[in-house]
Structure 1
Amino acid sequence: MAKNEFLPFGLNSDANVLNPTEWSSLNARSAGFTTGIAKSKEMNTALRQASVISNAVAQFIADNSGKDVLDNGDLAALQNNLSAALLNKMPGRLLNVQTFTSSGTYIPTPGTKSVIVEVQGAGGGGGGTPATGPTSVSASGAGGSGAYAMGHYINGYAGVAVTVGVGGAGGVAASSGSTGENSSFGNLVICPGGTGGGGLNAVVPPASRGGSQKTAPPRGGNIVSLSGSPGGGSFIHYVGSVYFGAAALGASSRFGGGGADDVAGSSGEIGAGGGGHVAAYNVPAISGGRGGDGIVIIWEYT
């Protein structure tokens, strides 16, 4: 047990001190004792007032910092130990946030007692379209978003491997986009990547291609556990020499939007799906949009 050298004075019930009314009305309490004789009763009261509160504060420091509280005039040590005692008495304070945008190992910040972890799987890539001719068109589906989970953990988190999934590549020509990679925080939370959007061979219009499938659910996550969303579908049609249609929008994630629904599929934000696109007459082959990479965020608490 830590030692406390700041001891109280005059604690006996019959101590030679003023009562509260006498002390509050004492002139010397404001002006101090002047030249002459100071009564022991008055001096004892002043000493007890100061020593009792200093003893209580010092005991709080000793009990909650584990450090000896020494009467040696070391003010800096006393202040540091008081700060440590206050922090130890207030569990649950946010200490630090570590963000992983690439894979690595989690080393807790000193003082971490629990963590809240967010894990986002990578997004799937959008499908591609082949080169089209004077009478053929194509359309591709967008990629899905990766799964997301959040969990609170009080043990088993130190030194775990952190995996940040890479977004799925967009499909080339008429091929489907690739599935995004899983993101994980050890074995505590594993979030699958989003599925890729489908491609479509060149066909006589009209043409349409559905979006990607819904992403598999996460493993772990005792606060939030969400499957990723499917990407959108595309279609194109000609009326005479004019075409109309809509390109697929990649599925959004918790961290941003999916790839835009433009002619050439664009990449998704963190964990979101890559965009699909449409190809009118006489358009070269276009690759689908790339899925967004995953992310792992660790909120550290005392």
Structure 2
Amino acid sequence: MKRTDAPKKQPVPFGVNGPREDLLPTTPAGNNQASYDSGFPPVTMILKSAGGLPPKGEDFNQILFELSALNRWASSGTLNSYDSTFATSIGGYAKGSMVLSDSGLIIYMNTVDDNSTNPNTGGAGWVNLLAFLGLGDGSGRYLGTRVFTASGTYTPTAGTKKVVVTVVGGGGGGGGTFATNASQNAAGSGGGGGAEAVGVFTTGFSGVAMVIGSAGVSAAAANGTDGGVTSFGTLLTAAGGGGGPRGIATGSGLTSGSSGGSTVTGTALISKAGQDGFAGIVFSLGLNLSGKGGDTNYGYGGSAGATGTSPGGFTGLSGKDYGSGGGGGGASISTASQAGGAGRPGVIIVEEYA
């Protein structure tokens, strides 16, 4: 036999819209209706002149409908699920039979004859087919990755049994600067990057509250604010990065940098502190460099900036992506106060596995 010998598939069962009636378990005496027990009864095989009755067309339609419906199901390659009523009626499943799990994700194979136990509830005599073939137990299959940038409630994708969760705290805002006079410059420091943590969970993750750490902000002549804490319920949290200190008006000197987020709580498999924000530096009158924002694995901090000898200033650049810190502001001589750049909010990334 060759693949080219495959018969035509039936898209609908025979007689699906024709006159049909359910077959009886047994045929009543003297009746000409077909049944599962007798098939067409003897009275349909006697000449009408001798008292016989013709077989019913509805029965022919029903028989061919049921047979072709089964063939249609088999042609589609679809497995049946375990059926306790059917199992009882046939005296249990035969050795080697296979059924699909209620979840639709596992194929069970029966290893004993006359088996009426339910494999979905650990019934004896059934094995996971993949495990039986030495291909694992069917668990651990990757389902997908979901990225959350807004707070809310986590609802797992159907079939999820394990999650790998990454949380990143919000980035700190960059420091602004004070106003300067003709003999002063100012350079604000960059905000710190948010902490990062990775955890693996097999229970307790469904329905947890997710909070995305807010971005730190800045204003003219102000310190940058800290980035917010990102949390995946109580299972895993990561602190935000520190806000960058504002730049003082001076002839030379530096402003202290900010700290990257470092606090992680919960069950973390891996944790990493966010990068510290860089200090703002006034090298000399008319030459300064604002602090770069701290990086995370998911985004670069706002870049540093410099001013020259002419009056002028700039607002610090914002962080580039998840959890990164904002850059510090800068002011040359005789310049109004400046603001730092905003950090970037945190993120939660959930990898789902069956």
Shorter-chain TM-score above 0.5: yes
Match of 1:12 in 2: none
1:222 offset after TM fit, Å? 2.9
1:202 maps to which residue? 249
Cα drift, residue 237 of structure 1: 3.2
For residues 70-111 of structure 1, the C-alpha deviation after alignment (integer angstroms, 9 at most, x for no partner) is xxxxxxxxxxxxxx9769942111112221101010001110
Shift of the 246–221 alpha-carbon distance from structure 1 to 2, 3 Å rule, reads farther
Displacement of 1:283 after TM fit?
2.0
Please say if residues 217 and 228 of structure 1, whose CA atoms lie closer than 8 Å, have aligned partners that are also in contact.
no
Distance in 1 (CA, whole Å) between partners of 2:166 and 2:333 is 45
Cα deviations by residue, 1:177-227 (Å, 9 ceiling, x for unpaired): 000010000000011111001013323x11321210242321124321122
Contact 2:194 2:274 survives alignment (8 Å): yes
In percent, how many aligned pairs have the same letter? 35
CA offset at residue 142 of structure 1?
0.7
State the shift of 1:260 in Å: 0.8
CA deviation after TM superposition for structure 1 residue 119, in Å? 0.3
RMSD between superposed Cα atoms in Å: 2.9
In 1: Cα distance, 2:167 partner to 2:205 partner: 14
1:267 maps to which residue?
A: 318
Number of aligned residue pairs: 234
Other structure's SS at 2:265 match = coil
Aligned 8 A contact 1:60 1:85 in 2: no
What is the CA–CA distance in structure 1 between the aligned matches of 2:249 and 2:266, rounded to whole Å? Answer: 42
Aligned to 1:135: 183
Distance 1:156 1:61 in 2: 27
1:229 Cα offset (Å) = 2.2
CA distance in 2, matches of 1:251, 1:280: 24
- Higher relative CO (CA 8 A, sep ≥ 6), structure 1 or 2? 1
Deviations 1:106-136 (A, max 9, x none): 0011100110000000000011012222122
1:192 paired with 2:239, answer yes
Contact 1:2 1:67 in 2 (8 A): no
- Could you say if the C-alpha distance between residues 131 and 116 of structure 1 is closer, same or farther in structure 2, counting changes exceeding 3 Å? same
Tell me which structure has the larger Cα radius of gyration.
2
User: Equivalences for 1:114-133 in 2 at 5 Å?
Assistant: 114-133=162-181
Are positions 1:157 and 2:237 aligned together?
no
Q: Distance in 1 between the 2:187 and 2:350 partners?
A: 40
Identify the residue that residue 98 of structure 2 maps to in structure 1.
Answer: 59
Spell out, residue by residue over 1:257-291, the C-alpha distance to the aligned partner (whole angstroms, 9 max, x if none).
00110243111121011101331102222111101
Deviation at 1:300, TM superposition (A): 0.6
Q: Which amino acid aligns with 2:230?
A: S
TM-score when scaled to structure 2?
0.60
Mark the CA change 1:267 to 1:221 in structure 2 (over 3 Å): closer, same or farther.
Answer: farther
Deviation at residue 67 of structure 1 after TM alignment? 10
Where does the alignment leave 5 or more consecutive residues of structure 2 unmatched? 1-80, 87-93, 111-127, 306-313
TM-score if structure 1 supplies the norm length? 0.70
